[in-house]
Every structure is written in structure tokens, then in C-alpha cells.
Chain A
Amino acid sequence: EVRLVESGGGLVQPGRSLRLSCVASGFNFDDFVMHWVRQVPGKGLEWLSVIRGDSGFTGYSDSVKGRFTVSRDNAENSLFLQMNSLRVEDSAIYYCVKDGQSGWYLDSWGQGTLVTVSS
């Protein structure tokens, strides 16, 4: 069974940094593309970033490009999101998501970690 467990969320002041982690189990982690998606509670979903299994490519939404960096450690079955220069509008639940076998769909989701950016 696929399991994705995020951690690292919390309350942070605007302009500061936070690093999210996601530990994966139940599948061959290094074989799969992984994504980060966020959602303001009660609102829609926003795709943030993607990283290939071998870290050979990464992609970002315009809203986080230049501020957020995705990375992974396949030896630890872990995915990371380094978030710098945080803004109030970055407050949301952040989900770690596994890509599907044929690519570019989100087939398994973690439970999410809540990030609140506030002074």
C-alpha cells in the first residue's frame, strides 16, 4: 500500500523559510515522479512542483518559481520542498503526491501538512 507522510509545516513569519518533508513507502520511490500540491482549506487545488525519479528534471508553477525548491533523497525514500521568502498567500495545506505510471497524473496523496504564514 502506498503511504506518503508529510511533515515540517507550522507557523512562520512572512519572509522566513520552511522545509517540508515527505517520507514514502509501499512502492519503488526512485521509479516515480513526485509532485507538491497545495490547497487553502475550503478552496481549490494548486500544483506547485514536480521532480523526476532521478532528479533529472524539475518544474515549478509561476507562483513559486525562484522561491521554492524541490528535491529528493531516494536512499531515504524522501521528498522535500524548501520554501523561501514565504508570503501570507503561501498559507495552505501542502500535499506530497505520487505520479501515476503513465505520467502526469496524481495517483496517491499524503494527508498534507499545514503551513501558516503570519506575523
Chain B
Amino acid sequence: QSALTQPRSVSGSPGQSVTISCAGSSRDIGGFNFISWYQQHPDKTPKIIIFDVSRRPSGVPDRFSGSKSGNTASLTISGLKVEDEADYFCTAYAGNFNLVFGGGTKVTVL
């Protein structure tokens, strides 16, 4: 069970778009479409923002979008807002009743 690989940090100015990658393998990201993304503000619990690669729970702005290509998933935040500054984590189903997390990416709004 290897952790998924995310960049430690990304940044952008308000209104810009940023993309966070989540690299795995054929055993997890490449093998299933159970990929989800979570937003965590400081001292808060994580909140789901994307599931099943690209689906948004109700209440999540459509500025957040997810995709997958091969063994890499991506989260794009369009029209970046100050309140989007947070940590973002990806997860993927890795078979045999296992989930695996990415190491997390800190998004900074400049």
C-alpha cells in the first residue's frame, strides 16, 4: 500500500486556476474509478469535494473539478478564491478492501 504522490504545495492568484496532481499506479488510480478529493482548512475536519473521479457532492461549487488520466488523477480549482486556501488530499481504492491517501497539497492564494 504505497501512498499516492501529490505536490507539497501549489499557489495562484485570485481568479486563476490551479491543478493538483495525484499520482498512483495501475493497482489504485489506474485500476478503479473510486477516486476522491478532500479539502481541509486549519484545525477543521476534512470535507469531501470530489468523489468517483469527477462527481461533486451537493453544495460544492462547480469551480472544483476532477479528472483522471492513466495512473494520475487531478483536481482543478478554477476561479481561485481566498477561501480555497487549504490542504487538499486525494484518495483511491487500491483493491482488497483498502484505501490509500495522497500526502496532501497545500494551496496558497497569493
Contacts and interface: CB of A to CB of B under 8 A. Distances in A.
B46 to A, nearest CB: 6
Interface string A78-105: 0000000000000000010000101111
Interface stretch (B15-23, B68-76, B77-85, B94-102): B94-102
Interface of B: 1, 3, 32, 34, 36, 38, 40, 45-48, 51-52, 57, 89, 91, 93, 96-104
Size bin of chain A's contact surface: 20 to 34
Interface of A: 35, 44-47, 50, 57-62, 95, 100, 102-107, 109-112
B98 A44 contact: no
A61 B97 CA distance: 9
A35 B45 contact: no
